Amino acid sequence: MLRIKPDQKQRVTVTVNGKAVSGYAEPRMLLTDFLRHELGMYGTHVGCEHGVCGACTAIIDGAATRSCLRYAVQCDGLEIQTVEGLADADGTLNTLQKAFNENGALQCGFCTAGILMSSTKFLQENPKPNDDEIRDMLSGHICRCTGYTQIVRAIRQASGQ
C-alpha cells in the first residue's frame, strides 16, 4: 500500500504526449497545477477547479476527463495527452486544430484546450458524429465568447463531414 504524508513531496512520473517527465507533488496538488507549475506545461487551462467549466480537460489514462479533479499523486505512471501534443513539432496544426482555425471556433482560447482534448477522444470513439452527438459532448464545456455553432461546425469538418 502506498501512503504519502500530507506535507511529503512525492516524485511523480507521467508520460505526457509520449514523453516521460517527472516532478514533485504533495498529496493535495491538483494534476492541473502539477502540469502547469511542476512541468511548465501551460496549455492545460484552469477555470473553476470544480469540474464544471471543462477548461482543464485532458486525456488521462485513455479517458477525456477533468484534470482539476485529479491529484498528481494519483497519476504516477499514467499516460496523459494534453493540447501541446496535438500539433507537429514544427508547429503545423493538426486537422482538428485547423478546422477550429478555419471556422472561427475560438476567440480568447481559454476553453479551447479542453474542447480540443475532449473532441480528440470523442472523434476516436465516434469518427462520424452527428450534430446532436457533438452538442451532447460539448455540453461538458463552457465557452464564454465564441458561441457553440462554430465549434460544432469545426468538429464536423474535422470528422470529414
Ligand X SMILES: Cc1cc2nc3c(=O)[nH]c(=O)nc-3n(C[C@H](O)[C@H](O)[C@H](O)COP(=O)(O)OP(=O)(O)OC[C@H]3O[C@@H](n4cnc5c(N)ncnc54)[C@H](O)[C@@H]3O)c2cc1C
| Residues 139, 37: Cα–Cα separation, whole Å | 29
The nearest distance, CB 3 to ligand X, in angstroms, is 18
64: three-class secondary structure by DSSP: strand
Closest by CA position to 28, among listed 57, 56, 69: 69
Stretch of 35-43, 61-69, 86-94, 100-108 lying at the interface with other proteins (CB under 8 A): 61-69
Strand partners, 81: 59
Verify binding: residue 136, ligand X, rule CB under 6 A. no
Contact in structure between 68 and 56 (CB atoms under 8 Å): yes
DSSP states of 95-121 as a string? HHHHHHHHTT--SS-TTHHHHHHHHHH
73 binds, among ligand FES, ligand X, other proteins, none (CB under 5 to 8 A by kind): other proteins
Q: Could you say which residues in the range 76-135 bind ligand FES, by CB under 6 A?
A: 106-112
Give the contact letters, 111-140, x = binds to other proteins (CB under 8 A), - = no.
Answer: -------x---x-------------xx-xx
Residues contributing to the site for ligand FES (CB under 6 A): 46-49, 51-56, 66, 68, 106-112, 143-146
